[in-house]
Amino acid sequence: MSNRRFDLIYFAVFLLVLGLGYWVASQDEEDAEVAFVPDFSLPSIEIEAPFEFPYTFVRFARPEAPRLRLSESMASVIVEVRKALLESSAPVEVRDDTRLVTRLE
């Protein structure tokens, strides 16, 4: 029974908010007070002398990306992609770790 009362209260508040919003929206623009909205645009910056950084930017050399010569057949595309992946990947060394000790009882 109390759930219906709460539903009625929420519905009444919802209708009140809708009515208040409609009333505010239907007011004459001449009667309403105009709110001042500030301008948030960035100010213009004018520098008198050209600015130079006191240090130089270091650009590091990057390896050239592998280029694929793809053709129409899917098999040759897979071969080219595999070859490019093998060229660009570093070999992984797999070795046994002798520090681990297992104890079986």
- The ranges assigned to domains in the chain are 1-27
pLDDT band of 99, cuts 50, 70, 90: low
- % of the chain exceeding 70 in pLDDT: 70
pTM: 0.28
Q: Rounded mean pLDDT of the chain?
A: 77
| Cα distances (angstroms) measured from residue 67 to each of 22, 81, 84, 92 | 63, 10, 8, 24
Q: What is the DSSP letter of 31?
A: T
pLDDT for the residue 9: 93
Taking 80 as the threshold, does the pLDDT of residue 62 lie above it? yes
Report the greatest alpha carbon distance in the chain.
Answer: 93
**What residues contact residue 68 under an 8 Å CB cut-off, 6+ apart?**
77, 80, 81, 84
